[in-house]
Structure 1
Amino acid sequence: MITASLVTFHTKPSDLLRLIECVLKSNISIFYIIDNSSNDSLREYSKISDKIKYIHSQNLGFGHGHNIALKMALEQGAKYHAIINPDIYWNDNVIEELTSFMDKNIDCGQVMPKILYPDGETQLLCKLMPTPMHLIGRRFIPIKSIKQKIDVKYELHNSGYNRIMEVPILSGCFMFVRMNVVKKVGLFDERFFMYSEDVDFCRRIGEVSKTMFYPNVAVYHEYEKGSYKNKKLLKYHMSSTIKYFNKWGWIFDKRRTEVNRKCLNQIKSFLK
């Protein structure tokens, strides 16, 4: 069984309907909508299909919302689960392709397809395990050339984003995970209200399995980068970043060094 979840917060009905249409055309058996909005006006969309399960929840964060769905998916005996942002949509058999890839690669705990902007440009969402410079420094560096140099390495630009590869950190906008691995590593860390919870989750999955980028299929992501425009979201972002490094280490993080070196060596081998 394949399940999926969406956490909404006053999501535009047009975005929700677009995603529901994608889900219903796929082999997803149950689609959990966890609504963190102040009202339950989105409940009516659960009437579209028996596959849709709507839960109105107190807004305790992105991770908390998806944990509600993950717990129910575990109870249902789901084999795979897709964690999807409201601004995601796709045209092809993405879920089926990712399912086939996971079935053939049992050492893979998480896979991410290619992520595209609506105009078809690739979003550079494959990343190294972050250092403070990656999550804090590059945000505030005023010199564009220095920031770009950091981004080239951190976002794995030299990989070309055109081949299957093992990547330390995959974006939380679309996470396709193996539920047996989730049982091992646990759910989202709810200390992160918003931001960095996906980095932490992907890192823990990577401790016991592979986290893979699979560019043979793609989804579209509108990707607004809210914390770059909204001071409240920036505050959440910075708070979560501090919590992340307090948990895993600011300067000394042996595992980070090892994993990033392995990834960069993999990319070097592509270029030979």
Structure 2
Amino acid sequence: MSISCAVVSYHNPPEQIADVLGSAAALPGVVLTLIDNSRDDRLLSVARQFGARYIHRPDNPGFGAAHNLAIAHAQEIGTEYHAVINPDVRFGPDVLPALRTYMEAHPDIGMLMPGICYPDGSRQHLCKLLPHPGDLFLRRFLPTVYRLSGRLNAYEMHDGGYDRIMDVPALSGCFMFLRTSVLKQIGGFDERYFMYLEDVDLSRRVGRVARTVYFPAVTITHDYHKGSYKSSVLLSRHIRSAIHYFNKWGWLFDEERALVNSKALQALARPPQPAADAPSLTNRK
């Protein structure tokens, strides 16, 4: 039982939860946890179908707080690796073993993210620099201006091509494969984020003590609905999380952000290196 996996659900369709739990359960011995923030417990039967530990939190404490329940359990039972997985994700049986094997060969890595595709097979650009307030504002409200400025390509690290292993400052929370000892060291998710940017915050704190790496040798499928683009309620949550993030790390002046992002962009300008030789882009403290 070297791997534990956790999914946080909020009124997701049972068939969707069955897909993601079935993906993780394909690896024998994996420890599964479903934290259900829904008002009802209709997903209990789905969890039982796949042998998942079921935690019902109808008070809906938020994404990070719910995941911390599973992280605490992973630390308690002593799994070496822990996967944070979105409910709108599915993947083949090769993914978790490949991520574990790569982490075992590279003990300086604290977090891996696999290649991520839309259901039609096209690539999702979820590798990111640490955000500046202007990135989030322009990307959300003036996307054409942001794209034409060239800043989108830099922020989403397009120059890396998404076909090579890269050290990435901010990895997506839709699928994070983490070393449990690193999670214990940094304390898991910051529960003050109810939803959105908790993955950036976690990536940044992991990046202070270990490498955060994009690993496209295996891929997953992610539906990626961009809820805050469609719901004013989710947009307001996104804005509140952004305010908390920049209050915590710095708004216009953030020396660590400038250093980490500069190193990441400099690395993209160099030819790809063997993974074992790739330099860390993190700001160790």
* Band the TM-score falls in, shorter-chain normalisation: over 0.9
Residues in 2 aligned to 1:158 and 1:28: alpha-carbon distance in whole angstroms: 38
- 8 A contact 2:138–2:146 mirrored in 1: no
Name the counterpart of 1:78: 79
Q: What is the aligned partner in structure 1 of residue 146 from structure 2?
A: 146
In the alignment, which residue of structure 2 is the partner of 1:132?
Answer: 133
Summarize deviations over 1:124-183 as a string: whole Å, max 9, x none: 0000011101122332226x1433422111001111000011000000000000011111
Q: Are the structure 2 counterparts of residues 151 and 44 from structure 1 closer, same or farther at C-alpha, using a change threshold of 3 Å?
A: same
Q: Distance in 2 between matches of 1:128 and 1:102?
A: 22
Deviations 1:83-136 (A, max 9, x none): 000010012400000000000000000000000001110000000011101122
Give the % identical residues.
44
Write the distance in 1 (CA, Å) between the matches of 2:50 and 2:139: 44
Q: Which residue number in structure 2 is paired with residue 232 of structure 1?
A: 233
Q: Residue 7 of structure 1 contacts residue 66 of structure 1 at CA under 8 Å; is this kept in 2?
A: yes
Any conservation in 1 of the 2:167–2:214 contact (CA below 8 Å)?
yes
Give 1:2 deviation, angstroms.
0.6
1:56 corresponding residue in structure 2: 56
Residue 39 (structure 1) aligned with residue 40 (structure 2): yes
Q: CA RMSD in A?
A: 1.4
CA distance in 1 between partners of 2:254 and 2:117 (Å): 32
Relative to the length of structure 2, the TM-score reads 0.92
**CA separation of 1:240 and 1:111: change in aligned 2, threshold 3 A:** same
Name the counterpart of 2:280: none
Number of the residue aligned with 2:103: 102
Match of 1:221 in 2: 222
Contact 1:138/1:150 (8 A) holds in 2: no
Distance 1:192 1:49 in 2: 30
Per the TM alignment, residue 27 of structure 1 is displaced from its structure 2 partner at its CA by: 4.3
Q: CA deviation at 1:194?
A: 0.4
Q: How many residues align?
A: 270
In the alignment, the residues of structure 2 paired with residue 204 and residue 78 of structure 1 have an alpha-carbon distance, to the nearest angstrom, of 21
**Corresponding position: 1:172 with 2:155:** no
- 1:190-201 correspondence runs (5 A): 190-201=191-202
SS at match of 1:153: helix
Instruction: Give deviations 1:231-250, integer Å, cap 9, x for gaps.
Output: 00000000000000000000
Do the aligned partners of 1:4 and 1:28 also contact (CA within 8 Å) in 2?
A: no
Counterpart in the other structure of 1:244: 245
Report the counterpart of residue 113 of structure 2 in structure 1: 112
User: Is the 1:4–1:30 contact (alpha carbons within 8 Å) kept by the matching residues of 2?
Assistant: yes
Could you tell me how far apart the structure 1 residues matched to 2:232 and 2:48 are? 36
Helix, strand or coil: the match of 1:235?
helix
Q: Please say if residues 95 and 219 of structure 2, whose CA atoms lie closer than 8 Å, have aligned partners that are also in contact.
A: yes
